[in-house]
Structures are given as structure tokens and as C-alpha cells.
């Protein structure tokens, strides 16, 4: 069942003992959404918690770790935030597959796996949708909630540089600033500060990048041996996929990351000429118009062949 913001707010108003889920490899948007929603619901006097995410990094842990559910918590209402499909649930969220009461998301590839689904593909970040829901609930927009929302919006729009940034995005960011957060400092930490392992991984990306279709397609491969050698963690690899799109003339940027078990994560970033979600959908993934992803059970070379073929097909179809 599809609902609007008012419908989602009404559902949450009627619920209690709420558990909020975040996706695998949690980024700023899913954690910001969960953190803001949980704090907002608690402000209303509700018993709400966030399911611990085993892959959380130090950068985003402060947004959700204080809200983790205790061992004896028995949830009666399940909400997912910024999760496009159930296969993106963290391992400890497996028991909740098929049991999500409310999906709040902005991925247009989301087919609606919840009993109720608020999906807004027009939103630059899912945190924008969370903001609208919180306002509909009458939550006081305090700095702790505003910081979570701002992190979600800022990270999913590339510090407001990506084409998914809208007037509503800026309006939500303005509301966060009005609530008293330090947006400049948040963006400095998120976008201008990098660890040595992150620096080394960026160097590897630029040193090994391959080009196809006269430079219109760029592909980078991050092998597990290199990741382990640099000591890079999930936080260091966050947003690294956008580097391929920074080269002049590139319309499709592809990044393949080898996981510890030999499987592969693929990320696609595109300019306005090509739909990234279509590329990834061809290989079983999905996502946004300009940013999408997919997972492969095969090795790197086979994954490269498959994603490159899908990218070439979509590149030519868009010409």
C-alpha cells in the first residue's frame, strides 16, 4: 500500500514499540534518517529504537549507536529507512524480511516491500522525506535531530553538488541550519577530511582507471589485496565511486570493489545523459538516476565484463 507523508505520519502516530532498520554498508543517509526518526519519535513519548548495524563505521556511529535496541526489546512495528529492497538488510535484520510495516525511501527502484510504503524518488536524500514526516508529526526540530537530517541530505547530494539536489533539498538544509547546527563543520568533516588509507585508495583509483567508448566510460577496480594493504575500512571506501565521474568527458563511471569473501560490489555514477539505475538493473541491482549499484557473486573479472556490457548498452541507447 502506497502512502503519502500524512499517511506515514498517521501510521507512526498510531504505533509504538518501534524498531528502525538501516541498510548494509550504512551511509550518511540511512543512518541520518534512522537517527532523526528515532529521536523524533522519542520526543513524542514513543518507545523507539534502531537495530544495531554490524557494519557501522566510526564516522556515522554517533548518529545511531545511542539508539540501539536492548536485548529484551520486543518490537511491534518495523520501519525501514533508505532501504531500496530487502536484500539490502543487514545480516541481523534477516528475521524482519516480509515484516516491515512502513518503508520510507527515495529510491525509484523500490517496488514497495512494506505493508505501507512512502517512496519519494523526487527527494535528493531520504532524510528529506524523514524531515517532512517529522514535521507532519509535530516534532520540535531540535539540533540533535537536525544534525542527523543534515548529514543524510548532505551526503546523498554530494554536499549539494549532485543533480538530485532540489529546492526542497536546500529548504530542508536551511531548516537544519536554523535549528542551530554547524553545517560548515559537518561538511568539513564529511567532505574535506580524509584518512591516509582513503588517500591511498584514491591514488589507486586514478592510477588504475580504464577508459572505454572514447573516454565516455571510466572503470576502476578496487582489489581486496589493495584494500587490505592500505588498511582501508568501509568508511574510507564511502563515496569513492564518485571519483570516476570527475574526469572530463566521462558520462558513465563504474567502480568495482572486491569484498572479503570474493564477491563484488559495483557502483555506477553517471552524468545527465545516461541512467545509472538502468545500467545496474540489467545486472540485478538498482538505485537512482545518477547513482546506482549492484552485487555480484562472481569474481572481479566476470563482474567487470557484465557491468561493462550493461554500461555500453545503456550508453549507446542514450545517444
Look at residues 246, 245, 240, 33 and name the one whose alpha carbon lies nearest to residue 123: 33
pLDDT score for 288: 83
Q: Which residue has the cell 570516476?
A: 244
User: Tens digits of per-residue pLDDT, 100-158?
Assistant: 999 999 998 899 999 999 999 999 999 999 999 999 999 999 999 999 999 999 999 99
4 has a pLDDT exceeding 90: yes
Mean pLDDT across the stretch 6-29?
97
Contact 268, 311 (CB under 8 A): yes
pLDDT score for 31: 98
Mean pLDDT across the stretch 288-311?
94
273: confidence class by pLDDT, cuts 50, 70, 90: confident
Look at residues 276, 281, 283, 280 and name the one whose alpha carbon lies nearest to residue 302: 283
pLDDT score for 107: 93
Contact 157, 127 (CB under 8 A): no
Look at residues 310, 253, 318, 250 and name the one whose alpha carbon lies nearest to residue 280: 310
Mean pLDDT across the stretch 174-186?
97
- The mean predicted confidence, pLDDT, of the chain is 95
39 has a pLDDT exceeding 90: yes
pLDDT score for 225: 96
Collapsing DSSP to helix, strand or coil, 210 comes out as strand
The answer to whether the Cα torsion of 89, 83, 37, 177 is positive or negative is positive
pLDDT score for 238: 78
User: Tens digits of per-residue pLDDT, 55-81?
Assistant: 999 999 999 999 999 999 999 999 999
Look at residues 71, 55, 59, 45 and name the one whose alpha carbon lies nearest to residue 22: 55
User: Tens digits of per-residue pLDDT, 243-255?
Assistant: 999 899 999 999 9
DSSP state of 70: P
pLDDT score for 2: 97
Which residue stretches of the chain are H helix?
5-14, 28-43, 61-64, 126-137, 143-156, 167-178, 183-187, 196-208, 224-230, 234-237, 276-281, 300-318
Find the helix or strand (DSSP H, E) in which 287 lies. strand 286-287
pLDDT score for 305: 97
pLDDT above 70 as % of the chain? 100
CA 150 – CA 318 distance, rounded (Å) = 34
pLDDT score for 109: 86
203: confidence class by pLDDT, cuts 50, 70, 90: very high
pLDDT score for 237: 86
178: confidence class by pLDDT, cuts 50, 70, 90: very high
Contact 28, 154 (CB under 8 A): yes
236 has a pLDDT exceeding 90: no
13 has a pLDDT exceeding 90: yes
CA 182 – CA 49 distance, rounded (Å) = 26
Amino acid at each position: 500500500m502506497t502512502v503519502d507523508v500524512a499517511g506515514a505520519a498517521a501510521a507512526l502516530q498510531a504505533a509504538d514499540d518501534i524498531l528502525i532498520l538501516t541498510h548494509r554498508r550504512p551511509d550518511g543517509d540511512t543512518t541520518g534518517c534512522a537517527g532523526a526518526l528515532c529521536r523524533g519519535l522519542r520526543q513524542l513519548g514513543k518507545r523507539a529504537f534502531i537495530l544495531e548495524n554490524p557494519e557501522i563505521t566510526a564516522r556515522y556511529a554517533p548518529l545511531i549507536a545511542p539508539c540501539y535496541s536492548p536485548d529484551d526489546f520486543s518490537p511491534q512495528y518495523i520501519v525501514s529507512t533508505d532501504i531500496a529492497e530487502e536484500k539490502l538488510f543487514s545480516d541481523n535484520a534477516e528475521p524482519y524480511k516480509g515484516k516491515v510495516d512502513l518503508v520510507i525511501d527515495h529510491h525509484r527502484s523500490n517496488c514497495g516491500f512494506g505493508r505501507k510504503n512512502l517512496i519519494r524518488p523526487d527527494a535528493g536524500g531520504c532524510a528529506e522525506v524523514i524531515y517532512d514526516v517529522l514535521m507532519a508529526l509535530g516534532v520540535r526540530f531540535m539540533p540533535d535531530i537536525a544534525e542527523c537530517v543534515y548529514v543524510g541530505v548532505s551526503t546523498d547530494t554530494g554536499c549539494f553538488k549532485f543533480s538530485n539536489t532540489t529546492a526542497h533539498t536546500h529548504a530542508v538544509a536551511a531548516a537544519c541550519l536554523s535549528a542551530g547546527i554547524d553545517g560548515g563543520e559537518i561538511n568539513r568533516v564529511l567532505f574535506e577530511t580524509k584518512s591516509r588509507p582513503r588517500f591511498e585508495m584514491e591514488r589507486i583509483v586514478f592510477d588504475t582507471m580504464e577508459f572505454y567508448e572514447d573516454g565516455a566510460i571510466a572503470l576502476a577496480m578496487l582489489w581486496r589485496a589493495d584494500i587490505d594493504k592500505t588498511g582501508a575500512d568501509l568508511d574510507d571506501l564511502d563515496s569513492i565511486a564518485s571519483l570516476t565521474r570527475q574526469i572530463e568527458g566521462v558520462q558513465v563511471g563504474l567502480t568495482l570493489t572486491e569484498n572479503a569473501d570474493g564477491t563484488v560490489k559495483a557502483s555506477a555514477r553517471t552524468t545527465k545523459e545516461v541512467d545509472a539505475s538502468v545500467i545496474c538493473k540489467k545486472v540485478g541491482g538498482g538505485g537512482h538516476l545518477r547513482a546506482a549499484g549492484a552485487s555480484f557473486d562472481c569474481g572481479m573479472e566476470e563482474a567487470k565484463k557484465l557491468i561493462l556490457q550493461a554500461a555500453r548498452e545503456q550508453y549507446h541507447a542514450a545517444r
